[in-house]
Amino acid sequence: MAYDRNNIFAKILRKEIPNKTVYEDDFALAFHDIHPQAPVHVLVIPKGDFISMDDFSQNAKPAEVQGFFAAVGKVARLVGVDKTGYRLLANHGADSHQEVPHFHVHIVGGGALGPLLAKRG
Ligand code: 5GP
């Protein structure tokens, strides 16, 4: 599968659509999720064109991996959830219902989060 340059996060990176930025550096952009699922819900995306964790973990350069995950930790500290706790979540592919085909990590926190997964119905 080829990277889709018209996905919504690619447009956010190109500043074609607005976002509420929390943090930005050479490797990552972090912004508030438009439909927050917790009191704190921030998305962190790499600057490079990676579809998902599967693509990123195979094809990102070591500096990109290091820079990205350092940014994830930094963002969690910036929004204050390092003190109270937080959960990281990254969806890959159909079973996970990944909506946006640009790799992203959700940081959720700001209150007790409940079980890891919704009950299977
Ligand atoms: P996924 O299901 O792909 O892991 O999560 C995609 C996330 O992106 C969802 O939580 C959704 O609310 C968020 N999202 C989708 N479109 C936009 C947008 O235009 N702006 C922001 N800030 N978040 C978005």
Q: Does 120 reside within a domain?
A: no
Q: In what order do the strands lie in the sheet with 86-89?
A: 21-24, 28-32, 40-46, 105-109, 86-89
pLDDT digit string, tens, across residues 26-54: 999 999 999 999 999 999 999 999 999 99
Provide the residue range defining the domain that includes 104: 8-109
Q: How far is the CA of 45 from the centre of ligand 1 (A)?
A: 11
Q: Does 82 reside within a domain?
A: yes
Closest approach atom of ligand 1 to CA 31: 22
Q: How far is the CA of 120 from the centre of ligand 1 (A)?
A: 23
Number of folded domains in the chain? Answer: 1
Going by alpha carbons, the residue nearest to atom 18 of ligand 1 is: 34
DSSP letters spanning 16-53: SS---EEEE-SSEEEEE-SS-SSSEEEEEEESS---SH
Q: Does 24 reside within a domain?
A: yes
Q: Does 117 reside within a domain?
A: no
Q: Does 98 reside within a domain?
A: yes
Q: Does 72 reside within a domain?
A: yes
Q: Does 45 reside within a domain?
A: yes
pLDDT tier, 121 (very low <50, low <70, confident <90, very high otherwise):
low
Q: Which helix (H) or strand (E) holds 85?
A: none
Q: Does 2 reside within a domain?
A: no
- 95 DSSP assignment: G
Output the pTM of the full model. Answer: 0.97
What does the block give as tokens for 121? Answer: 């119905």
pLDDT value of residue 9: 98
Residues labelled as active-site residues: 104
CATH of the domain at 84: 3.30.428.10
